[in-house]
Chains A and B, each alone.
Chain A
Amino acid sequence: MSMPTTAERPFTVDRSLLIRRLREVLPAQALLFEEEDLRPYDCDGLTAFRQLPLLVALPEDEVQVQAILRICHELRAPVVARGAATGLSGGATPHPDGVLVALAKLKKIIRVDPVSRTAVVQPGVRNLAVSEAAAPYGLYYAPDPSSQIACTIGGNVAENSGGVHCLKYGLTVHNVLRVRGLSIEGEIVEFGNAALDAPGYDLLALINGSEGLLALITEVTVKLTPKPELAQVVVASFADVRRAGDAVASIIAAGIIPAGLEMMDRRAILAVEPYANAGYDMDAEALLLCESDGTPEEVAEEIGRMTTVLEKSGAAGIRVSQNEAERLRFWAGRKAAFPAVGRLTPDYLCMDGTIPRKHLADMLEAIATLSGKYALRCANVFHAGDGNLHPLIMYDANQPGELERATAFGAEILELSIHFGGTITGEHGVGIEKIDLMAEQFTLAEIGAFHRLKAAFDEHGLLNPGKGVPTLARCREYTLARVGGEQNPTNPMNAPRR
């Protein structure tokens, strides 16, 4: 993992001209260019990668965004969009030659329509704010990434964010009806519409998870879901992780689709409990949180079935939330898990591999081995229902070599994810963090297809360059370094994909 090299910086931007032009279309306080002001913008939630942007623009409406894009397109200056900058893959890491467009001021909830069960919001609206606005109507916005208090809808769409309830309620792509945005040329484009589908290609599906590489989002219509009458969560503690992993498969095998199915290992529990006071079993090696929602009768029936399966799977202790306050408390611990690990370590890397559920226990054991190999601690938080892993590799950036070790540790976990039949990223995006690993998961032909797709939207490659998809040259370089030569038959890059 490294920042883009000069070879990948084909941009020659006239900074003073860009400033002059942008000043004509932006209020004074909406354009930052002094280094003192730019510094705090040099990274997003991934602090291991820092880069000063050329400039920061803080537009207040779509018209200003459009003006910025037109100027940047004309002057061939890169554009990086940023919402709340809570992302963990460096999707909003600035570009040294580009304008960082911070969209936090576009935070209007334009409309909440309880009859059509939709909300129209600007991209800087926080995920949780949508649910709060919909609450008086008994509705909510279903995707709930752990950072939902802070992360924005624009960022959610860009990353196709998940959350703890997506096995049953889907990802962002399943809960967004329409995305209005601007092409790099500054043209207004609408993907999807107020109906359930739109004519032509499903560009709405494509824009979700496109990491700001295809268009800049200015408005989103989201689907609102009726709040279930009741939700209850079972917290089951296990004396070893393999049993917990197997319990996950058993629940699915029993035909149950829990509203949420989460797992935490011992280190994660110990980090979270002092902050959240969730009442977790501090002696457990692993915890499962298993949620049921629906009518009271339905929930009672399902909680009964879940409890039976969990008991059979060897749960050491089982607690069922007795009221909404307790349910929220049980979840609060899980939701705060990432930053709470900040109590154990000055820095961490959060991985995001996804694997078939049956390999959860194998993966946990492999991570424990790797933890020894790299002499770094690792807390594990999983969206177990989706097979989505979030190992948090703890390191101290002030100690020479630790970041490099942590990075290598993370890469091995992701390679294992591919080995188990999964992917390097389930919901955090490739960003800058995992860009080299794309070459592990995709062939050169596939990477080439991604580049052609990108060019269909952004001919000059100005939107978020250096993210998401590696250049072919970078892929070759990475593969050479990893597998020791193009002639290596075990190199997946060389094998034709069938």
Chain B
Amino acid sequence: MQTHLADFIKDTPAGREADAILRSCVHCGFCNATCPTFQLLGDELDGPRGRIYLIKEMLEGQPVTARTQLHLDRCLTCRACESTCPSGVNYHRLYEIGRAVMEQRVPRSLAARATRLLLREALPRRWMFKPAVRLGQLLRPLLPGVLADKVPRPAGARIGGGPQPAAHPRRMVALAGCVQPTLAPNTNAATARVLDRLGIELVEVAGAACCGALRYHLDAREQALDDMRRVIDAWWPELESGRVEGFVMTASGCGGHVREYAALLKHDPAYADKAARIAAMTRDASEVLAAEQPRLLELLRAARAGVGERVAFHSPCTLQHAQKIRGVVEALLTAAGYPLSPVADAHLCCGSAGTYSLTQPVLARQLRDHKLAALHAGSPDLLATANVGCQMHLQSGSTLPVRHWIELIDERLRAAS
């Protein structure tokens, strides 16, 4: 595509990167076919090809208003378009550059700014978020529908608590995360138990909490970079000690973001190398298990748990599009004896998308309902996913339990013990 970037950005690193990305797009339109918002709205402006064009216009110095902002805000950054794009357009990077310019050019309303501020300040802080959720749970009957949906139902009697490190020569580090310990405390616990059976000790490191994705996607870039540096600082001694094999991510949203650390911190001389090394050692829990497959299969066979519940698996965008991990969890669940029910349009986002369900509630709800219809179509007994955001978002609209897949593997293994 022809480009004439404006002087304000042309010769900056961001400008050069954006120009290269823009020029790799041949405007074929394949991306619109798998874009959740284009499928809902049918407006070129609400698909990747149109957004690329809007960003191009902006970077070429055309006047930009809240109109462009509206369509960029509607992007879920699910990156389904990147999976579809045959030309290899690095959409999410262009989008991030475009958003940064837009934030400077187009002021947001006071209310919008307040909401975004609240989200990025409260969610990553466990001390604020946890009591807020508790309060919400108590007040649920009094809350309006949209908000009530957002407050998760109490997790019930599921086994909580932190990981239970046992003495193994092999050791990995898990990210505690920001909202996950409150909303789905069993996820990391289950991961620790499964890895324990595989002879791997899983530990959490104090100080490594929010990966930074949350603030990053709410346009608080500097704060986000600080979040990332905090994680790196916390993990670095572990890495240096040489005792750690890798960093295990149980929320694919965080995993996708930690893997981007190298790109995001490459201009920070103090952190560039560290970020690159940590990103390279980061694994989704499914990849860790897949690598231990022979031992895992042996354990599952020994467990002799029979046929499990029928599961519909929702692969989060951050797993299938951002990390390009496809079919791995499905294979693990099948191996563990869970029959999988077919899911149409599995490439589409559920609408959770970080804080999207809070900033774009109407679209998020439509996407959730479509996703749930597709998940329910095969009459499953329960739903499984790989990211806490999707898990909570789907749970808000389904009467079936929505679990993290690792919990299901954990239950299989525990059936024997």
Residues of A near any B CB (own CB < 8 A): 29, 32, 34, 36-37, 39-41, 43-45, 47, 58, 84-86, 102, 104-105, 107, 124, 126, 128, 132, 147, 149-151, 275-276, 336, 338-343, 346-348, 397-398
- Partner pick for B26 among A39, A41, A276, A348, CB 8 A cutoff: A348
Question: Is B114 interfacial (CB-CB < 8 Å)?
Answer: no
- Partner pick for B33 among A40, A45, A149, A343, CB 8 A cutoff: A149
| Chain A nearest Cβ from B255, distance in angstroms | 23
Residues of B with C-beta under 8 A to A45: 27-29
| Bound CA–CA A103/B87 (angstroms) | 26
Stretch at the interface among B63-71, B152-160, B161-169: B63-71
Question: Is B62 interfacial (CB-CB < 8 Å)?
Answer: yes
Asked whether B57 lies within 8 Å of A36 as measured between CB atoms, the reply is yes
Known contacts A36-B67, A342-B24, A342-B87; A105 and B30 CB within 8 A of each other = no
Most interface-central of B50, B53, B64, B87 (chain A CB within 10 A): B87
Known contacts A34-B67, A339-B87, A398-B3; A40 and B45 CB within 8 A of each other = yes
Asked whether B33 lies within 8 Å of A105 as measured between CB atoms, the reply is no
Question: Is B323 interfacial (CB-CB < 8 Å)?
Answer: no
Interface string of B1-32 (1 = CB under 8 A from A): 11110000000000000000001111111111
| Chain B nearest Cβ from A377, distance in angstroms | 15
Residues of A with C-beta under 8 A to B85: 339
Question: Is B88 interfacial (CB-CB < 8 Å)?
Answer: yes
Output the nearest chain A residue to B19 by Cβ-Cβ distance: A398
Residues of A with C-beta under 8 A to B23: 346, 398
Known contacts A45-B27, A47-B27, A85-B29; A36 and B88 CB within 8 A of each other = no
A-B contact pairs, 15 of them (CB 8 A): A36-B67, A40-B50, A44-B29, A47-B2, A84-B29, A84-B33, A102-B42, A105-B41, A132-B344, A147-B30, A149-B33, A338-B26, A338-B28, A342-B26, A342-B86
Contacts A45-B28, A105-B42, A397-B1 aside, 4 further interface pairs with beta carbons under 8 A come to A36-B64, A128-B33, A339-B28, A342-B26
| Bound CA–CA A132/B53 (angstroms) | 30
Residues of B with C-beta under 8 A to A58: 42-43
Asked whether A346 lies within 8 Å of B68 as measured between CB atoms, the reply is no
Tally of A-B Cβ pairs under 8 angstroms: 113
Question: Is B407 interfacial (CB-CB < 8 Å)?
Answer: no
| Chain B nearest Cβ from A56, distance in angstroms | 8
Residues of A with C-beta under 8 A to B88: 275, 342-343
Asked whether A347 lies within 8 Å of B86 as measured between CB atoms, the reply is no
Output the nearest chain B residue to A48 by Cβ-Cβ distance: B2
| Chain B nearest Cβ from A35, distance in angstroms | 8
| Bound CA–CA A169/B33 (angstroms) | 25
Residues of B with C-beta under 8 A to A149: 30, 33-34, 84
Known contacts A36-B63, A102-B44; A343 and B87 CB within 8 A of each other = yes
Known contacts A39-B53, A339-B86, A339-B87; A124 and B42 CB within 8 A of each other = yes
| Bound CA–CA A135/B205 (angstroms) | 50
| Chain A nearest Cβ from B88, distance in angstroms | 6
Output the nearest chain B residue to A403 by Cβ-Cβ distance: B2
Interface string of B42-59 (1 = CB under 8 A from A): 111100011001100100
Interface residues of B in 80-106 (CB under 8 A from A): 84-89
| Bound CA–CA A49/B398 (angstroms) | 48
Asked whether A150 lies within 8 Å of B29 as measured between CB atoms, the reply is yes
Asked whether B24 lies within 8 Å of A37 as measured between CB atoms, the reply is no
| Chain A nearest Cβ from B19, distance in angstroms | 9
Residues of A with C-beta under 8 A to B34: 149
| Bound CA–CA A85/B38 (angstroms) | 13
| Chain A nearest Cβ from B373, distance in angstroms | 15
| Chain A nearest Cβ from B87, distance in angstroms | 3
Output the nearest chain A residue to B50 by Cβ-Cβ distance: A40
Residues of B with C-beta under 8 A to A32: 45
Output the nearest chain A residue to B41 by Cβ-Cβ distance: A105
Asked whether B28 lies within 8 Å of A37 as measured between CB atoms, the reply is no
- Partner pick for A40 among B24, B41, B42, B54, CB 8 A cutoff: B54
Asked whether B50 lies within 8 Å of A107 as measured between CB atoms, the reply is no
| Bound CA–CA A85/B65 (angstroms) | 25
| Bound CA–CA A357/B65 (angstroms) | 54
Asked whether B1 lies within 8 Å of A39 as measured between CB atoms, the reply is no
| Chain A nearest Cβ from B86, distance in angstroms | 4
Output the nearest chain B residue to A104 by Cβ-Cβ distance: B42
Asked whether A339 lies within 8 Å of B30 as measured between CB atoms, the reply is yes
Residues of A with C-beta under 8 A to B4: 398
| Bound CA–CA A29/B25 (angstroms) | 27
- Partner pick for A339 among B26, B53, B54, B68, CB 8 A cutoff: B26
Most interface-central of A39, A102, A128 (chain B CB within 10 A): A39
Output the nearest chain B residue to A336 by Cβ-Cβ distance: B86
Asked whether B42 lies within 8 Å of A39 as measured between CB atoms, the reply is no
| Chain A nearest Cβ from B95, distance in angstroms | 15
| Chain A nearest Cβ from B392, distance in angstroms | 30
| Chain A nearest Cβ from B126, distance in angstroms | 40
| Chain A nearest Cβ from B358, distance in angstroms | 22
| Chain B nearest Cβ from A400, distance in angstroms | 11
| Bound CA–CA A378/B344 (angstroms) | 39
| Chain A nearest Cβ from B306, distance in angstroms | 30
